[in-house]
Amino acid sequence: MPKQKMNTRNSSAAKKPVERKSLKAVDRLMGMKDTLPAEFRYLSNVMDKAASLAELYSFNAIKTPVIESLDLFKQSMRNSSDKEIYGVNCDKGEKAVLRPELTQGILRAYIENNFVELPQPVRLYTIGPVFRHEKMQNGRFRESNQFNMEVIGEDKPMAETLLIAAAYNFFLDLEANFQIQINSLGKAECRKEYNTKLSAFYKERGRRAKLCNNCKKALLKTPMALLDCKEDACQQLLAEAPQIADCLSDESREHFAKVLEYLDELNIPYNFNPYLVRGLSYYNDTVFEFWPINDEGAMQSKLALAGGGRYDNLVESLGGKPTPSVGIAIGLERTVAKIKDKLELPNLKEEVVFLAQLGEQAKIKSLILFEELRRMGFNVRQSFSTDSLKNQMEEASRLNAKVSLILGKKEVMDETILLRDMESGVQETVAFKKVKDKIAKKVNRKEGVIYG
């Protein structure tokens, strides 16, 4: 029987190592942004300041869902809102969206939980993310965090003044350079008259041809939206446009004059801007924005740090009883970008106690001590996932720890612990059962925590 020849080609091929295709990294979505640890410290600090300010002004915290019904926003958003909203797939044909704003969710909660039965006005604040599928611009992201304050059930001009004063002091404390822009949109009948005048103005002498495409479309239905356009060509046409102040009713004129009078009494500077309309359709009467400026007083960006106004018909349009209200939204990422160089983060040097350990038994004992010190009110930190003492001490230095407690195998056996002063480097051995008393004499604790 003849011998079969070996297929050397197949044999050599079989010996070749199998090449694995490298997996492609999954990038973040366009318009989204990672807030890295170094930057998050600034954002978190500003969020804490926002919450503290709201509490001082007697606002109560509320948290609403990130996902809401599309119907909640359909009647109150801009004409282009459908393109800006992120839809969410739901069961049973529900139409849900990632919230593009915080105000409507707060008002839904006000209606749904019968807050109308509470003493009015109701003051609520919230801090959280909003999502808008907007055109990409420098400084604008499709997910961002907002700080909202809402005064619900108040028709007096003092409500606007309160919110403007709160935001004014918030930015002042952060050492931000800003200018308050303010205007009145009047009631529905005032805006109807003004839209007629505005439409006629833009149709004269070829002005319509100079408008951007979005404004050409808006001119047919909502001429006032043209005043909010940030395109340079559209902005240049504003100088000659009619002003809504000429169309205000006596009631709206008196209300607005009172707001300005209160601001003057509080020595809060502002700029009357007759073309400020805000981008949303539900506002009436007073509207305002906080614009970033440089040290010379020139406007730095087309994106406002904050904006708000009165929306007396919004609660009713969402199914509630007629309820006059006013609110403000502050963009937190924009605020951080504006004041980051001036913002002083809390100095942890006088507060941090760092626990370092070597070995399994030391780690267990350190975990117990960590929890005891935390409950006593100490600002205690650790890196239990790290075994290297060198790396742990580097982490203690990065945190500006005042003292470090070091526990190793020998210390576990001797019932002691090493206490190192991180500034002087002096180290002493302390009996483990006395370490809490020793730390209490060296490091300040949070106020209101009882030792023992």
Task: Dump the DSSP string for 103-136.
Answer: HHHHHHHHHHTTGGGSSSSEEEEEEEEEE--PPP
Percent of the chain with pLDDT over 70: 90
315 part of a folded domain: yes
- The band of 295, judged by pLDDT with boundaries at 50, 70 and 90, is confident
Per the structure, the count of domains in the chain is 2
Q: Could you tell me which residue, 233 or 143, shows the higher pLDDT?
A: 143
- How many Cα atoms are found within 13 Å in the side-chain-facing hemisphere of 213? 1
- From 316, 339, 362, the end of a domain falls on 339
Residues 285, 398, single domain; the answer is no
Whichever domain contains 396, its CATH number is 3.40.50.800
At 394 the pLDDT is: 93
- The band of 155, judged by pLDDT with boundaries at 50, 70 and 90, is very high
Residues 165, 95, single domain; the answer is yes
Residues 163, 62, single domain; the answer is yes
Closest CA to 228 of 300, 289, 138: 289
Q: CA 196, CA 186: separation in Å to the nearest integer?
A: 15
- From 307, 339, 371, the end of a domain falls on 339
Residues 103, 129, single domain; the answer is yes
Backbone φ, ψ for residue 366 (5° rounding): -65, -35
Residues 133, 276, single domain; the answer is yes
- The band of 204, judged by pLDDT with boundaries at 50, 70 and 90, is confident
Range of the domain at 87: 37-187+249-339
Average pLDDT over residues 3-20: 55
At 157 the pLDDT is: 95
Average pLDDT over residues 233-262: 90
- The band of 240, judged by pLDDT with boundaries at 50, 70 and 90, is confident
| pLDDT of 334 over the 80 cut | yes
Q: CA 204, CA 79: separation in Å to the nearest integer?
A: 24
167 part of a folded domain: yes
1 part of a folded domain: no
Evaluate whether 177 touches 295 at the Cβ level (below 8 Å): yes
Q: Where are the alpha helices (H) located in 177-248, listed in sequence order?
A: 188-202, 213-221, 232-236
Alpha-carbon Rg of the chain, whole angstroms? 30
At 17 the pLDDT is: 65
Residues 171, 274, single domain; the answer is yes
Instruction: Write the Ramachandran bin of 437: left for phi over 0, alpha for psi from -120 to 50, otherwise beta.
Output: alpha
214 part of a folded domain: no
At 449 the pLDDT is: 40
Which of 144-148, 354-358, 374-378 bottoms out in mean pLDDT, i.e. has the lowest? 374-378
209 part of a folded domain: no
426 part of a folded domain: yes
Residues 253, 335, single domain; the answer is yes
Give me the chain's average pLDDT, please: 87
- The band of 138, judged by pLDDT with boundaries at 50, 70 and 90, is low
Whichever domain contains 299, its CATH number is 3.30.930.10
Which DSSP state fits 238?
G
Q: Which of 13-17, 83-87, 414-418 is most confident?
A: 414-418
Closest CA to 105 of 146, 144, 71, 64: 64
136 part of a folded domain: yes
- The band of 452, judged by pLDDT with boundaries at 50, 70 and 90, is very low
Residues 177, 281, single domain; the answer is yes
At 348 the pLDDT is: 45
Residues 49, 112, single domain; the answer is yes
Neighbours of 424 (CB within 10 A): 7
At 436 the pLDDT is: 92
Residues 104, 180, single domain; the answer is yes
Instruction: Write the Ramachandran bin of 87: left for phi over 0, alpha for psi from -120 to 50, otherwise beta.
Output: beta
364 part of a folded domain: yes
Q: What is the pTM of this model?
A: 0.80
Which of 214-218, 308-312, 420-424 bottoms out in mean pLDDT, i.e. has the lowest? 214-218
Average pLDDT over residues 21-45: 87
- From 305, 339, 373, the end of a domain falls on 339
Residues 334, 358, single domain; the answer is no
At 235 the pLDDT is: 81
| pLDDT of 280 over the 80 cut | no
Q: What are the tens digits of pLDDT across the range 59-71? A: 999 999 999 999 9
At 94 the pLDDT is: 83
Average pLDDT over residues 284-300: 89
Residues 85, 170, single domain; the answer is yes
Average pLDDT over residues 289-314: 89
